[in-house]
A and B are shown apart, each in its own frame.
Chain A
């Protein structure tokens, strides 16, 4: 297998790089060891930052957010809900910070407008009556799954390739160049080689593991952030806490839900990362200071991501991950003896396009391509099979086009047979066997109130009926599907969610005995 550029990592940056290169006429293969957006690109707020969050401590990141936010709103509107945002302070918050906020924003070009607490509560009735100051900013919410799927989709349409569940496991290096990259398929265990002129490490938090294949070490700090999803949307705009960045101080609405987060916890290992009960309790308590309803509301899911923060010399006290810059780091490894390896890390979702643009620029320079970047000016095309990730879109579409031949598979999130069929077809186009976990990521299957107890069962029955599943593997598949869901609910199981979890368990263990059919620990996928 051979290509011009091999991209390692299918997050927002890797997929955007694939698109950016494709638009410059450069073919690439993207290998992703798990699934698209499986790392920090999926484990975040889905917030298109106005920049306001970084004005006090990271001016460059704040400026980049402002400029990139404008581009994304204009060229990728199908991924954005332009909600606008607020920064609010409550009693006890630092008065000096409140007063200085406009003077932090101005030099970064981040617009902000002060309003009274009363006006803020008129805009957002769920705000605490202890709000003492508020500013309007230009935040928006963004669907990171749709974003990556659409970027990848355009790249594929221009001749690039995506290989999911394929892990880079070795570099053959001769004369200071990676000649070929050894990869392994997670499904078949098969190993093979991909030859590439250039290799780009977009592995995010896993960047160090990839660099390690070339004997290079980079200084990355891992910061885990946990977020909670509410059952109902409780705010119209993004609500930020008006203080220096801290825990649980951003509430982002998106579609039919709201998301509160995050924590920032330094972790040393990327293994076994999941939201903890302590984090959940912290988020609920802190979030409730801004929006008291967060103490009473029902949460449907918790998730987390690990931010890869690139540590430049003198970037602050190392115990505090929030003090490390959210700036972009593009590392040319030529001076470490590998001329065709580039690592891109740091940055944030809002600046993903800029990271891809700069990286593509460097890579094109190395292979003598002088085509300019087109992602800065050309709109991102829509692709039919990506649209089912948008909360609320499935219902809208269903209501519009409900005909006698469409069957509802997931009643909580209204995922139809049509949505399933299109998603299955697009996976198969890419030579992938559809699993329930895939369907869950690409539609909203199993993400609603029933936690998959009913729709997971229906979807599995459907996979058998349409011939996609033909063996006893379905039991392992639904076990994996429940485990994926479980990671997201385990830390929020109280009240109604606990009732639902007990129902799910009573059906799938109490009645169907599925726990007797799942591989034991260690044998699992």
Chain B
């Protein structure tokens, strides 16, 4: 790689870590870095976590083609390892995965978004499609939904006129056989009468006001009857969700819960708000909505990253990079008719031989499309390797869905993969790199 021609960066300022990507993996990597006192800079588009549902999956389905659902995610992971899978989980210990989850959950909890999980159990969560999703770690605001489902308790699902992607009747009709006590009611959200379309984020903002909650509760109250729980689309506030849930529970007299729905979702928005507002005070330099355009490497091994477009070039020097740019949606991978590419470091990729075998003939084929397992291959320190298994750069670490040999969509391991590999990558940076070479700092 050639050095950039322009030198308008400050060559004296060397960050420890540059995190590229702002999805769950990028955010987790930034958190773990700043928690370990590494000087950290992060770049990535602004909407990285907006497509997150708020649920943190760990591992639920394996083997995917058998649609086998595991009650205990650790047993599923153990089965993967036992079968010699190249899944990234095979390179991380259960303890490390567990610690990673705890560190994230504790951070989010201290930032006002509490999470609940049971150590050795996946949790059943009803979705707006009327399916039961098996996940590991749920926002507190969704917890009563897990209880209500387990008890099959009489439950009212409330939805709102104009909220196009959410139908309480769809959920109750789809689940009727296994949960007859589910009942739906559609009402107008306060002050939206006459509107065709209402948007989740607007409803969530409105619910931050106690007067709106009181008005909403008054509309729901006559519909409660036998119901012992009240389920809502996931719109119960943005910054004060816990207080909003508590207030609604007091007003309605029964526990309330949120049901995860289509992106861009309010829980994804909450995550973004927390990462945006809480990480910078912890020492993270966030280059918001900046893309890394190109990368060069100095003789001493440090990376020089060109941030932003040609109009406002900015150069950052870092001792190590964590690449968490995601797959195609995140533009961590690009594709054309002839193949798949990693555009920043031009990393070699594990991928099907040709486009002919990228996808199955059935979209919902449970075995998962071969292209889903394409990606960057790594060593045990999560450093990219080439086709022969040789580490490409000793200071380039890979985290999240860009990794090869996993199908997070079918295995239900997306957030777990993001969090655990970010954790492993940051620790590997510290153990394998920081401690073994002279630290060049400002």
Q: Roughly how many angstroms separate A462 CA and B167 CA in the complex, as a whole number?
A: 8
**A502 x B328 contact (CB < 8 A):** yes
Chain A: minimal CB distance from B70 (Å): 13
Q: In B126-150, which residues have CB < 8 Å from any A CB?
A: 127-134
Q: Report A-chain residues with C-beta under 8 Å of the C-beta of B67.
A: 515-516
- In chain B, what residue has the closest Cβ to A407? B196
Interface string of A263-288 (1 = CB under 8 A from B): 00000000000100110010010000
**A475 x B165 contact (CB < 8 A):** no
Interface string of B152-176 (1 = CB under 8 A from A): 0000000000101111011001111
Chain A: minimal CB distance from B169 (Å): 5
Given A461-B170, A514-B129, are A454 and B194 also a contact pair (CB < 8 Å)?
no
Whether B53 sits at the interface, judged by CB under 8 Å, is: yes
Segment with Cβ contacts to B, from A138-146, A157-165, A478-486: A478-486
Q: In A468-497, which residues have CB < 8 Å from any B CB?
A: 469-472, 474-475, 478-479, 482-483, 485-486, 490, 493-495
Given A474-B170, A503-B329, are A513 and B176 also a contact pair (CB < 8 Å)?
no
| 13 residue pairs from A and B, CB less than 8 Å apart | A281-B337, A408-B196, A454-B262, A461-B166, A462-B164, A472-B177, A475-B174, A486-B362, A499-B328, A499-B329, A509-B364, A512-B129, A514-B131
Pick from A281, A408, A495, A513: contact of B133, CB below 8 A: A513
- In chain A, what residue has the closest Cβ to B175? A472
Q: Report A-chain residues with C-beta under 8 Å of the C-beta of B262.
A: 454, 457, 507
**B362 x A521 contact (CB < 8 A):** yes
- In chain B, what residue has the closest Cβ to A499? B328
Interface string of B324-337 (1 = CB under 8 A from A): 00011101001111
Interface string of A427-458 (1 = CB under 8 A from B): 00000000000000000000000000010011
Given A483-B362, A515-B366, A521-B362, are A472 and B335 also a contact pair (CB < 8 Å)?
no
- In chain B, what residue has the closest Cβ to A416? B196
Chain A: minimal CB distance from B416 (Å): 12
Contacts A462-B167, A471-B176 supplied; 13 other A-B pairs, CB < 8 Å: A278-B356, A404-B195, A454-B165, A457-B129, A471-B173, A475-B174, A478-B129, A483-B363, A490-B361, A510-B412, A511-B53, A512-B131, A517-B131
Q: Report B-chain residues with C-beta under 8 Å of the C-beta of A192.
A: none
Q: How many residues of chain A get a CB closer than 8 Å to chain B's CBs?
A: 57
Q: Roughly how many angstroms separate A510 CA and B173 CA in the complex, as a whole number?
A: 22
**B355 x A494 contact (CB < 8 A):** yes
Whether A498 sits at the interface, judged by CB under 8 Å, is: yes
**A506 x B329 contact (CB < 8 A):** yes
Q: Roughly how many angstroms separate A479 CA and B362 CA in the complex, as a whole number?
A: 10
**A498 x B196 contact (CB < 8 A):** no
Interface of B, helix, strand, loop or mixed by DSSP: loop
Whether B263 sits at the interface, judged by CB under 8 Å, is: yes
Q: Report B-chain residues with C-beta under 8 Å of the C-beta of A505.
A: 363, 369, 372, 409
Q: In B216-268, which residues have CB < 8 Å from any A CB?
A: 260, 262-263
Q: What 7 pairs between A and B have smallest CB-CB spacing? A: A486-B363, A461-B167, A464-B170, A510-B409, A515-B364, A512-B129, A509-B409
Whether B200 sits at the interface, judged by CB under 8 Å, is: no
Whether A67 sits at the interface, judged by CB under 8 Å, is: no
Given A475-B130, A515-B364, are A509 and B329 also a contact pair (CB < 8 Å)?
no
Chain B: minimal CB distance from A289 (Å): 16
Q: Report B-chain residues with C-beta under 8 Å of the C-beta of A490.
A: 359, 361, 363
Q: In B315-366, which residues have CB < 8 Å from any A CB?
A: 327-329, 331, 334-337, 354-356, 358-359, 361-366
Whether A520 sits at the interface, judged by CB under 8 Å, is: yes
Pick from B335, B358, B361, B364: contact of A518, CB below 8 A: B364
Whether A525 sits at the interface, judged by CB under 8 Å, is: no
Q: Report A-chain residues with C-beta under 8 Å of the C-beta of B131.
A: 475, 512-514, 516-517
Q: Report A-chain residues with C-beta under 8 Å of the C-beta of B363.
A: 482-483, 485-486, 490, 505
Q: Report A-chain residues with C-beta under 8 Å of the C-beta of B358.
A: 493
Whether B197 sits at the interface, judged by CB under 8 Å, is: yes
Whether B410 sits at the interface, judged by CB under 8 Å, is: yes
Chain A: minimal CB distance from B148 (Å): 19
Chain A: minimal CB distance from B176 (Å): 7
Given A404-B194, A404-B196, A407-B196, are A515 and B359 also a contact pair (CB < 8 Å)?
no
Q: Report B-chain residues with C-beta under 8 Å of the C-beta of A277.
A: 354-356
Q: Roughly how many angstroms separate A138 CA and B361 CA in the complex, as a whole number?
A: 39
**B336 x A465 contact (CB < 8 A):** no
Whether B414 sits at the interface, judged by CB under 8 Å, is: yes
**B196 x A405 contact (CB < 8 A):** yes
Q: Roughly how many angstroms separate A510 CA and B331 CA in the complex, as a whole number?
A: 18
Chain B: minimal CB distance from A513 (Å): 5
Q: Report B-chain residues with C-beta under 8 Å of the C-beta of A113.
A: none
Whether B186 sits at the interface, judged by CB under 8 Å, is: yes
- In chain B, what residue has the closest Cβ to A417? B196
**B133 x A512 contact (CB < 8 A):** yes
Q: In A326-362, which residues have CB < 8 Å from any B CB?
A: none
- In chain A, what residue has the closest Cβ to B363? A486
Chain B: minimal CB distance from A499 (Å): 5
**A516 x B362 contact (CB < 8 A):** no
- In chain A, what residue has the closest Cβ to B358? A493
Q: Roughly how many angstroms separate A486 CA and B360 CA in the complex, as a whole number?
A: 10
**B197 x A498 contact (CB < 8 A):** no
Q: In B56-112, which residues have CB < 8 Å from any A CB?
A: 61, 67, 69
